[in-house]
A and B are shown apart, each in its own frame.
With several copies, the nearest count.
Chain A
């Protein structure tokens, strides 16, 4: 099984060649997913979600999850 990884908005443009999938057995937290998917440190103020719910970087992940990283929200 794998964890799907998505990046949005400015983060999608900034992160160079991120993985869109990581090995679920190697990731315990959202931060682990970031480290597996990119070669860069996680910037301050990055927001994250697991399976479409807002989460914190230290929150756990599981095989099959969809994890997303994005900058502060600016809609409305």
Chain B
């Protein structure tokens, strides 16, 4: 189980592989992964940059609690959450959630739970820079289900 906050861009596949290398090959049969990345359009406007603010300390605490909640609900072998903070550019990854489990139902359910819980509980806020140079705080999430 691991939570990483990254202030520079990251490679989701590399971090997933690095984490998986600590697991026993053959012990899990299902790996569900989600990557959220920055789109260059939001609510109809061209977006050229984003700043991700967070609440250091609370962020890590909430993400670790979310993983514990997932562990209490599903038989999962391991889980990884990586979240970006700071200034990011379109196309860069914002978040990675990965779950390893014996079977696929738990992996899918827990991976999606991590994302939904993160989006409602982990203190991150997005501020977009539009093409015309203006800034705006993102005020709501898209629906998760």
**Which A residues are closer than 8 A to B by beta carbons?**
6, 8-10, 49, 52-54, 68, 70-76
In the complex, B90 has a CB within 8 A of chain A: no
**Are B140 and A73 within 8 A (Cβ)?**
no
Shortest Cβ distance from residue A65 to the other chain B in the assembled complex, whole angstroms: 13
In the complex, B127 has a CB within 8 A of chain A: yes
Q: Which of A6, A49, A75 contacts B119 (CB 8 A)?
A: A75
User: Which of A10, A53, A54, A74 has the most chain B CB within a 10 Å cutoff?
Assistant: A74
What 0/1 pattern do residues 55 to 90 of B give for CB contact below 8 A with A? Answer: 101100110000000000000000000010000000
Main secondary structure on B side of the interface with A: mixed
**Are B58 and A74 within 8 A (Cβ)?**
no
What 0/1 pattern do residues 128 to 143 of B give for CB contact below 8 A with A? Answer: 0000000001111100
Q: Give Cα A68 to B137, complex, Å.
A: 18
Shortest Cβ distance from residue B29 to the other chain A in the assembled complex, whole angstroms: 10
The A-contacting residues of B in range 105-145, CB under 8 angstroms, are: 115, 118-127, 137-141
Q: Give Cα A53 to B127, complex, Å.
A: 24
Q: Give Cα A49 to B122, complex, Å.
A: 12
Q: Give Cα A74 to B139, complex, Å.
A: 7
**Which B residues are closer than 8 A to A by beta carbons?**
36, 52-55, 57-58, 61-62, 83, 94-95, 104, 115, 118-127, 137-141
Shortest Cβ distance from residue A29 to the other chain B in the assembled complex, whole angstroms: 20
Q: Give Cα A52 to B58, complex, Å.
A: 5
A73 with B57, Cβ < 8 A, contacts A9-B137, A10-B137 known: no
Shortest Cβ distance from residue B64 to the other chain A in the assembled complex, whole angstroms: 11
